[in-house]
Amino acid sequence: MKYAAINIGPIVDTISMARKPRELWAASYLFSFLMECIIKTIKEKGKTIISPASVEGDEKIGVGLYPDRIYLEDITDEELKDVVDKAFLAFAGTGIGQDYVNVMYVSIESEDGEGVIKKLNRLLDCTELYNRPVKDESRVRVLGLIQKKNDSPLFEHAFNNSEFEIQTLGEIATYQLSKLEGKAEVWKKLCIDARKKEENKRAVELEKAEDEFYKQIKAEFKNDYHSYHKYICVVQADGDNMGSIISALKNEEVMTLSAALLGYGEKACGMIKEFGGLPIYAGGDDLLFLAPVVSDKGNIFGLLSEIDDCYKKTVDEAIDKNNISRPKKDGKELHTSLSYGLSVSYYKYPLYEALKSARELLFDTAKNVQGKNAIAWCLRKHSGTGFSGSFCKDASKGQVYQIFTKLMTCSESEKVISAIAHKLRQNEDLLEIIRNGTDRENRVTAFYHKVMEEENPEKDSYLKDTRGLLCALFDSYVETKEDKEGKTRPITKILITMYGMLRTAKFINGEGDEDE
């Protein structure tokens, strides 16, 4: 039997054009819409789709749910070409054609269908290495489409409304304030006024309109306003081990798992919207969204934990519920989890740069954490300072993530945090000896008693929590190539990470503009 796969792009290059949430959403939805057209055309031909699963009925949730790859069985090359041509006819209303969108398809023969997904993926990976040049006029047409405020065919398709309003960065960042008792209409009016001022404005005038919006927000909300209301989260997530799992499954099992992934995507989008965020994309095990740092539902790390639970129950547990045999690695059954790249930046920070940061944090850092199931984050303050780090999402007692979560509930002054960091840095050599020695926990406790002036190690306090964090960071540290080459000292990196976590926790717990 013949098996085939189709890949569409250029997705990353297109979303990199976006400067506003509306443009980012449109750039992503453009490709999900095209994949929907391809899926419908294939179904009309009566061909079998192995993956992805498709939405049934005419329900509109306003988010792209289809990935950039589709896998088929029993289809010829001639039929593939006809599918693509007819899909673009249905897609014609966007004004975007094959002079911009790169559609690649590959096919193989297989008697039993064994491992076809893995083989097709390898072929598609090779085709993606070919960078087809795109003419300037084609790029300009795409830019014109994603920048549309009204009469957008993408809005019409996603929401049945050509003038649908996508939230601005300011609206997303300040969403928490809309949930304060008696303040919903005040917040809404400020947002509407800001949108009106944004229309047809030049860059300088637009910046003045944004400044005026925040000036009014601070005046109206006073004590409820915090510096994090000027910051936006860009989150990119990807499933761990999913490629290895799918590659080892039978085609019927892939179909079952694909349906579970579709269900997860829909649920995750609902959770993000309830948090006050804007889902950009939820196809397969990939997720991209914007969100406030804090909303009435909690903080961004809490939202990631909730999405984790949803993924585990909807996707990973679906493997066992449907009696799907898990592939093994090093003698252990593979489970799938989520890893995240989280970029937190000032609302004036270029959106495309924040997107790039989130992508690099995910694939260059989080995916390289031992065991994966990790978060890599970066907080860029308006003052120019930045804090970053990564950790496995192990919430058991005494682990880095559990202690960090607890620290986000503690109110401590910047003066105390800086004093702790200063004393730790002053004693790097001693701490490196402790890290490499035996009985580390007791030695760290003694260090805190003598140097940090912790009077009672058993008493719950902020100092005790930082001591626990230091021990956890010692235990979780994995030697890197740079360590072996002597380029960096492990203790230096540990203390930088710890300080970044303390500052990030304080930021999320709430601080005023004077702390910038």
Tell me how far apart the alpha carbons of residues 364 and 506 are, in angstroms, rounded to a whole number. Answer: 26
**So what's the pLDDT on residue 58?**
67
Domain end: 124, 151, 166, which one?
A: 166
Indicate if 152 and 109 belong to the same structural domain. Answer: yes
Residue 262's CATH number: 3.30.70.270
Tell me how far apart the alpha carbons of residues 250 and 171 are, in angstroms, rounded to a whole number. Answer: 45
Indicate if 384 and 427 belong to the same structural domain. Answer: no
Pairing of the two strands 294-295 and 298-299: antiparallel
Contacts of 96 (CB under 8 A, 6+ apart): 30, 141, 142, 145
Task: Please choose, from the candidates 233, 314, 321, the residue with its C-alpha nearest in 3D space to the C-alpha of residue 266.
Answer: 314
Tally of domains in the chain: 4
Tell me how far apart the alpha carbons of residues 16 and 13 are, in angstroms, rounded to a whole number. Answer: 5
Tell me how far apart the alpha carbons of residues 148 and 163 are, in angstroms, rounded to a whole number. Answer: 9
Mean pLDDT, consecutive 10-residue segments, the chain of 516 residues?
Answer: 95 94 96 96 96 84 93 94 96 96 94 88 89 91 93 92 87 97 95 78 69 94 95 98 93 95 97 98 96 98 98 96 92 96 97 97 96 96 92 94 95 91 96 95 97 94 97 90 76 95 94 60
Asked whether residue 53 is assigned to any structural domain, the reply reads yes
Contacts of 195 (CB under 8 A, 6+ apart): 165, 168
Indicate if 272 and 372 belong to the same structural domain. Answer: yes
Contacts of 47 (CB under 8 A, 6+ apart): 72, 73, 74, 75, 79, 83
DSSP secondary structure string, 52-93? -----TT---SSB---SEEEEES--HHHHHHHHHHHHHHTGG
Task: Please choose, from the candidates 414, 388, 390, the residue with its C-alpha nearest in 3D space to the C-alpha of residue 401.
Answer: 390
Indicate if 342 and 216 belong to the same structural domain. Answer: no
What tokens appear for 144 in the block?
A: 């014109």
What tokens appear for 157 in the block?
A: 């398709």
Within 10 Å of residue 66's Cβ, how many Cβ atoms? Answer: 27
Indicate if 422 and 364 belong to the same structural domain. Answer: no
What tokens appear for 36 in the block?
A: 């929907």
**So what's the pLDDT on residue 302?**
97
Q: Which domain holds residue 287?
A: 229-393
Indicate if 298 and 379 belong to the same structural domain. Answer: yes
Run of H or E residues at 492: helix 490-509
Q: Is 338 left (phi over 0), alpha (psi -120 to 50) or beta?
A: beta
Tell me how far apart the alpha carbons of residues 177 and 38 are, in angstroms, rounded to a whole number. Answer: 42
Contacts of 383 (CB under 8 A, 6+ apart): 516
Q: Is 136 left (phi over 0), alpha (psi -120 to 50) or beta?
A: alpha
Hey, what's the torsion of the CAs at 96, 97, 102, 104, to 10 degrees? 130
Indicate if 282 and 372 belong to the same structural domain. Answer: yes
Domain end: 199, 225, 251, which one?
A: 225
Asked whether residue 398 is assigned to any structural domain, the reply reads no
Indicate if 246 and 362 belong to the same structural domain. Answer: yes
CB 21, CB 30: distance < 8 Å: no
Displacement of CA 171 from its chain's centroid (Å): 19
CB 246, CB 254: distance < 8 Å: yes
Instruction: Tell me the three state secondary structure of residue 234.
Output: strand
Indicate if 70 and 90 belong to the same structural domain. Answer: yes
495, HSE (Cβ side, Cα atoms, 13 Å): 21
Instruction: Please work out, in degrees rounded to the nearest 5, the angle formed at the alpha carbon of residue 477 by the alpha carbons of 474 and 439.
Output: 30
Instruction: Tell me the three state secondary structure of residue 227.
Output: helix
Residue length, the chain?
Answer: 516
Residue that is written with structure tokens 């008493």 in the block: 459
What tokens appear for 437 in the block?
A: 């020695």
Indicate if 105 and 38 belong to the same structural domain. Answer: yes
Domain end: 328, 361, 393, which one?
A: 393
Run of H or E residues at 475: helix 462-476
Asked whether residue 360 is assigned to any structural domain, the reply reads yes
Indicate if 235 and 365 belong to the same structural domain. Answer: yes
Indicate if 7 and 129 belong to the same structural domain. Answer: yes
Run of H or E residues at 330: none
Residue 37's CATH number: 3.30.70.2220
**So what's the pLDDT on residue 486?**
72
DSSP secondary structure string, 174-219? THHHHTSTT-HHHHHHHHHHHHHHHTT--HHHHHHHHHHHHHHHHH
Report the first-to-last Cα separation within the chain, whole angstroms: 63
Asked whether residue 401 is assigned to any structural domain, the reply reads no
Asked whether residue 399 is assigned to any structural domain, the reply reads no
Within 10 Å of residue 287's Cβ, how many Cβ atoms? Answer: 24
Asked whether residue 492 is assigned to any structural domain, the reply reads yes
Asked whether residue 44 is assigned to any structural domain, the reply reads yes
**So what's the pLDDT on residue 452?**
96
